[in-house]
Amino acid sequence: MTDGREIIVARRRLGEHCRDLLVAQGLSTGDALTVADSLVSAECRGTVSHGVARLPHYLERLRRGSIQARPAITVAREFGATMLLDGGDGLGQVVNQRAVTEVTRLTRDHGCGWVSIRRNSHCGAMAYYGLQIAREEMVAIVFTHSDSLVLPHGARQKYQGTNPICVAAPGEGDEVFCLDMATSAVPWNRVMNARQRGDSIPAGVAVDAAGRDTTDPHRAVALHAAGGHRGSGLGLAIDMLCSMLGGAPFGIHIPIMYGDLDSPRELGGLVGAIDIRAFAEPAEFRRRVSAWMAEIRALPADDHSPRVLAPGDPEATADMANSQSLAIPPTTLAALNAEASRAGLPPLAACE
């Protein structure tokens, strides 16, 4: 235990537990490993809004058939350095992993590549895919959209999703510049986690049904955009890229994640990559990225920050700290073990 509210579990065992639950629900071992690794990676990097607490929701959708355990992922169109990928209503991590494979191939062949995705579901943290592409000595640009959760700037009604973006580029050694951010003030899953934990949410990020700011996650029905009109505009641009290119639904027409669990999500996405070799020597590019990040970190901190961090620093530090074990809420452990009992699997135990 940590502060009486969280339980320490072994990282490897947590991944195995998630994998086994997914295999029990019909996934292949390889696809189950991908989904489990994505969830555990997000948890360990501190992106708990996209961590293992999402797994029971995925399993319920698999049981109901709105997510396919063994989707028929197909190439709907390929032209030059571009591809339209039909996800067949599979788990988002499985579909996006295929998109990473395809965009990496296209980029090696053409110097850059773009894969538009349709008929996808929730795919977890964007950094999971951006980091993989960056490790191939490429620059990654990854988008997805979500159902209507965010108020466009100046509006009283939610319309756009949290619509995240990830940009990743390799530095020297294991260092990676990795911006992974929602265009909402916080990810909606952070509200869901607060409900589960019994916590409040920060002021100024969410509104209730009457449009008033609230810190009660149970009363929250919509989020503010990050940075006012700028975040709102960026979120709408991402919705356009994710919906219009591949023919996916947009805005209020996207099926709700926690709504009708019997209907597929039909999400769109866009995964892009740039081959560094098309512009520079990879070793020199990496050196310059690391030098640039070092200069950012060396800037004098303001009165509210102990030090200046580069994008990706907090997540990389958390991942290293959680390399062997990590803390999860008792409610999350209970939910995972309820799924294990349902599947006839042994429970996940806390570290002694």
Confidence at residue 196, expressed as pLDDT on a 0 to 100 scale:
81
- Mean pLDDT on 62-66: 98
Residue pLDDT, tens place only, 15-49: 999 999 999 999 999 999 999 999 999 999 999 99
Residue pLDDT, tens place only, 317-333: 999 999 999 999 999 99
What Å distances lie between residue 36 and 15, 137, 188, CA to CA? 6, 25, 21
Confidence at residue 282, expressed as pLDDT on a 0 to 100 scale:
98
Q: Which of 17, 50, 122, 145 is catalytic?
A: 122
Confidence at residue 343, expressed as pLDDT on a 0 to 100 scale:
98
Whether the predicted pLDDT of 231 surpasses 80: yes
Question: Is residue 253 annotated as a catalytic residue, yes or no?
Answer: no
pLDDT band at 165, cuts 50/70/90?
very high
Helix pair 55-64, 330-343: axis angle to 10 deg: 30
Domain 7-184+225-343 maps to which CATH number in 3.40.50.300, 3.30.1370.60, 3.30.300.30, 3.20.20.80?
Answer: 3.30.1370.60
Confidence at residue 2, expressed as pLDDT on a 0 to 100 scale:
44
- Mean pLDDT on 323-350: 97
CA distance 227 to 178: 20
Whether the predicted pLDDT of 3 surpasses 90: no
DSSP code per residue over 141-158: EEEE--SS-BPPTT-SS-
